[in-house]
Structures are given as structure tokens and as C-alpha cells.
Chain A
Amino acid sequence: GNSVTQMEGPVTLSEEAFLTINCTYTATGYPSLFWYVQYPGEGLQLLLKATKADDKGSNKGFEATYRKETTSFHLEKGSVQVSDSAVYFCALVKNRDDKIIFGKGTRLHILP
């Protein structure tokens, strides 16, 4: 079945460090891929998305590229801030399927 695997956290970095959160997926066909972010005590917010191979989603300094050959959608940011501390979820949705499938989430702590 379809699934999303992302690196286990927590991930702890110093401010201005480079961030990578790995995400790989298993799915038939051509799913659309998403990153969502959850700040403490809140629901999830869409961070970025990509709908086809080689697409790059970007927002708030974060980027992720849809890599069909490696079935990956790694999240990157060049210089993190304390305000980026949150839980990040990688997700996919298949063609003509209502359900969105989430990874288990990666908690990110940024130290000042």
C-alpha cells in the first residue's frame, strides 16, 4: 500500500544551521506530495507542495524537490530560525483518492 517514511526526530539544530528532513514514499502511479508544519498547540498548516516529478515546492525559505527516481521529497532550509521549531509532516495523496497519507512527523528544535 501507499506509505510515507520520514526521519525520526527530534532533530535539534542551532540557529542559522542548514536543515534537511528526509522523506521517502511508496506509491503506485504519480502521487502529489506535501509538507505540513504543526506549531505547538495548533493544527497543521500547508508548508509547500509538488504535484509532479521534478517540481520544486518552496515557501518561507523551505524547499523540497519531487524526485521520482529516488521516491523522495526531502525538506531543506538553508538557515533555520528559532521560530521554525515545530513538527513537520511529509504527506502524499494519490490520483483520484481522497485520503491523504501522512508520515509520522519529525519534531524540530532550534536552539538560539
Chain B
Amino acid sequence: GAVVSQHPSRVICKSGTSVKIECRSLDFQATTMFWYRQFPKQSLMLMATSNEGSKATYEQGVEKDKFLINHASLTLSTLTVTSAHPEDSSFYICSARVGSSYNSPLHFGNGTRLTVT
């Protein structure tokens, strides 16, 4: 079945540095990918919708300059957390839809645990 690969699975960085998270669709092309942040007690927050070849669409309250999203190819989207701070520590998950239909299921990466010290 469709596989979404997310890397790294865990990253620890110092406050003020930037971290890049990659999300790849391994056996399908994804014109749209979604980035989520998962908070304690498991609730998922959609951060942005990543569109291949165009600018990402950010949800209200998500800082575009802090969470840079690039979707340069049909199989790769990246999320860069710039000037990370401890409050950015979280579990970040990407996903992609297989197929063009609005109700095609999402396939998720295994997430990235970011810890900012």
C-alpha cells in the first residue's frame, strides 16, 4: 500500500537553531501534503497544507515565517522549524492523500518528535 516516510523520527536541538523535517511519498505522487502538530493528550492540529509547486496554505494562528514549508517535488515536502524554542517541542506528523478524490484516505508518516533544549 501507499507509504509516507517521515525523517527524522526524533531530533533534539538547541534553542535558536533550525530543524528540517522531511516527508516523502514513496510509491505515489502527492500534489498535496498536510502537516500536523500533535499536542499532549493527543489532539491533532492542522498546521498547513503543502501544495507542490506553490505556496503552502497555513491555518490561522500558525506563523508562516517560523514554520517554513517547501513542496518542491511530487514526492517531497519539508517543514523547517526556524529559530526553534522549547515551546516548539512537539510531535509533528505529515500526511498525503493517495488519489485525487476529496474522500481518498490520508496516509501518514510515523511522525517526528522534536525536543528543543
Contact = CB atoms under 8 A, between A and B. Distances in A.
Nearest to A48: B105
B64 interface: no
Most B C-beta atoms less than 10 A away, residue of A44, A97, A102: A44
A34 B102 CA distance: 13
B88 to A, nearest CB: 19
Interface stretch (B12-20, B70-78, B79-87, B108-116): B108-116
Interface residues of B, number: 22
B42 A95 contact: no
A43 B36 CA distance: 10
Given A43-B6, A46-B107, A96 B42 contact: no
A44 B108 contact: yes
Interface string A46-86: 10010100000000000000000000000000000000000
Interface in A7-46: 32, 34, 36, 38, 41-46
A45 B42 contact: no
Contacts of A44: 93, 95, 106, 108
Given A43-B95, A105-B42, A98 B49 contact: yes
10 contacts: A32-B103, A34-B105, A44-B95, A44-B108, A51-B103, A87-B42, A89-B44, A93-B103, A99-B49, A105-B42
Interface of A: 32, 34, 36, 38, 41-46, 49, 51, 87, 89, 93-100, 102, 104-105, 107
Interface of B: 4, 6, 32, 34, 41-44, 46, 49, 93, 95, 97, 102-103, 105-111
